[in-house]
């Protein structure tokens, strides 16, 4: 199993290209099941989760082709892929695939919308709480699907097609909103989603569906209206830049000091995170190329944050911000309201010398004068990269184990950081 070794203490200087967003790419890929025609996605990140979803879609009959690079094109340009679901050959998504990535459960919606039936294993993914799928299933039932749970599988049927409905989500759900958008696009009549997720990734999916012929109004707002159509078409769409990756590297710069251009990053996608970084002492400047992040001289100030649905501070940056606060000059409070079990990185940060006390859903972080390198273990995707941020500022050497979590969501992380001066290397299992 691969490890990452980091020797801390180096300021970051240079350019980090921001990849396409994983959390947008996955639902966009799944949306290809809605049409017989080819969906072309540009700016696709090369990630373990993307490759796993390729296998899952292939199991359903989706042809997946990667466009070749053009002359002079940088490796940082992202891949262009073509997905064609001309014929759905299997409406079952098996446990051995779905259990490894919970987003793959979303294939349930386009399969039942297009084929009138689906059999999909209940999901797996990061162990950061129960993350139930009840709201996804509620949305499909509102649209007329008949659902049963059989031997760990959700069995859905809508032999006469789905029918538009009013869906009131009791709480904001990104997965439920994605699911409802895809299913309602092919339902007869009008669907209205209330208390819908406003995340940029939801808007990205809606934009692509509109290019495919869907009739959607209000994406990015809490109420979305979808007028169903008889069929969808092929389309070309560029995946939005990854706001979580951008926020993560911005926090790494704030942690170590330095001056880095996050090429392709957009401030409007993570303003709450940038506001917190500015309060902590980092300087963020929008440019034509992306976001420039600097921190020189002054120390890190403590900042209190509370995670909440977009446009508030994202839960996917909570662990990284906690790593930053371990070096703040004072006490900060970080409250997690989205997932009930997303503080598993606390014990590993403590191995580096962090001083963190948990009180229910709040972590109280007392900044330390320094951190010291140590062997640590990644527990999930965002927790693993929080250890990278801490290690970049720690004295001496840190070894991070179980880095396959990192490969699920960060493309070429070691190369990007090494290009800005970080002393970081991957140790392969054979080495």
Catalytic machinery residues: 126
**Residue 171 marked ligand-binding:** no
- Tell me the two tokens of residue 205: 């999916």
Q: Does residue 311 have a cis peptide bond before it, meaning omega lies within 30 degrees of 0?
A: yes
3 is in an annotated binding site: no
6 close to 384: Cβ distance less than 8 angstroms: no
Longest Cα pair distance anywhere in the chain, in angstroms? 66
Tokens 């979803």 belong to which residue? 53
| Residue 329 assigned ligand-binding role | no
> Per the annotation, does 314 bind a ligand?
no
Q: Is 23 known as a binding-site position?
A: yes
Element of type H or E holding 237? strand 235-238
Q: Is residue 424 marked as binding? A: no
* CB distance 407 to 247 below 8 Å: no
Establish whether 83 is an annotated binding residue: no
Nearest to 204 by CA among 239, 176, 175, 180: 239
Distance in angstroms (rounded) separating the CA atoms of residues 380 and 128: 8
Cα–Cα distance, 327 to 399 (Å, whole number): 19
Are 131 and 102 contacting, i.e. CB atoms less than 8 angstroms apart?
yes
- Cβ atoms of 361 and 336 within 8 Å: the answer is yes
Cβ 139 vs Cβ 183: under 8 Å: yes
Annotation-wise, does 134 bind a ligand?
A: yes
The dihedral built from the CA positions of residue 236, 204, 136 and 122, taken in this order, carries a sign that is positive
CA distance 202 to 124: 21
Does 275 appear as a known binding residue? no
Q: Is residue 22 marked as binding?
A: yes
SS3 183: helix
- Cα separations (Å) of 130 from 31, 77, 173, 342, 348? 25, 36, 14, 11, 22
List binding-site positions.
22-23, 102, 131-135, 316, 338
* Sequence ranges of the binding site for UDP-N-acetyl-alpha-D-glucosamine: 102, 131-135, 316, 338
List, as residue ranges, the binding site for phosphoenolpyruvate: 22-23
């Amino acid at each position: 199993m691969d490890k990452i070794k980091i020797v801390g203490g180096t300021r970051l200087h240079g350019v980090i290209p921001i990849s396409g967003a994983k959390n947008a790419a996955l639902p966009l890929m799944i949306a290809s099941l809605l049409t017989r025609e080819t969906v072309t996605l540009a700016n696709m990140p090369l990630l373990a989760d993307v490759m796993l979803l390729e296998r899952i879609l292939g199991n359903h009959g989706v042809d997946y082709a990667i466009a070749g690079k053009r002359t002079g094109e940088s490796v940082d340009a992202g891949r262009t892929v073509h997905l064609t679901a001309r014929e759905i050959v299997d409406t079952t998504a098996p446990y051995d695939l779905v259990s490894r990535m919970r987003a793959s459960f979303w294939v349930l919606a386009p399969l039942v919308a297009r084929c009138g039936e689906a059999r999909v294993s209940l999901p797996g993914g990061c162990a950061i709480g129960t993350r139930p799928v009840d709201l996804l299933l509620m949305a499909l039932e509102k649209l007329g699907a008949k659902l049963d749970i059989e031997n760990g599988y959700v069995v859905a049927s809508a032999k006469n097609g789905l029918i538009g409905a009013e869906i009131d989500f009791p709480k904001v759900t990104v997965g439920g909103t994605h699911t409802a958008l895809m299913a309602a696009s092919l339902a007869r009549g009008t669907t209205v989603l209330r208390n819908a997720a406003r995340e940029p990734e939801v808007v990205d999916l809606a934009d692509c569906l509109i290019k495919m012929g869907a009739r959607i109004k209000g994406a990015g707002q809490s109420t979305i209206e979808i007028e169903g159509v008889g069929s969808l078409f092929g389309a070309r769409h560029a995946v939005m830049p990854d706001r979580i990756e951008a926020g993560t590297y911005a926090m790494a710069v704030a942690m170590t000091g330095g001056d880095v251009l996050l090429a392709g990053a957009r401030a409007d996608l993570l303003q709450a995170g940038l506001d917190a970084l500015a309060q902590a002492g980092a300087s963020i400047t929008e440019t034509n190329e992306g976001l420039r992040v600097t921190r020189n001289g002054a120390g890190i100030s403590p900042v209190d944050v509370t995670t909440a649905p977009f446009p508030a501070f994202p839960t996917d940056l909570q662990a990284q911000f906690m790593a930053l606060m371990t070096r703040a000059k004072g006490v900060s409070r970080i409250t997690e309201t989205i997932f009930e079990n997303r503080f598993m990185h606390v014990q590993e940060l403590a191995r580096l010398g962090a001083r963190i006390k948990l009180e229910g859903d709040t972590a109280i972080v007392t900044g330390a004068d320094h951190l010291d390198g140590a062997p640590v273990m990644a527990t999930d995707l965002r927790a693993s990269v929080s250890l990278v941020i801490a290690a970049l500022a720690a004295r001496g050497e840190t070894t991070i184990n179980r880095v396959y979590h990192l490969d699920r969501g960060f493309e070429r992380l070691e190369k990007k950081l090494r290009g800005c001066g970080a002393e970081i290397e991957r140790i392969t299992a054979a080495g």
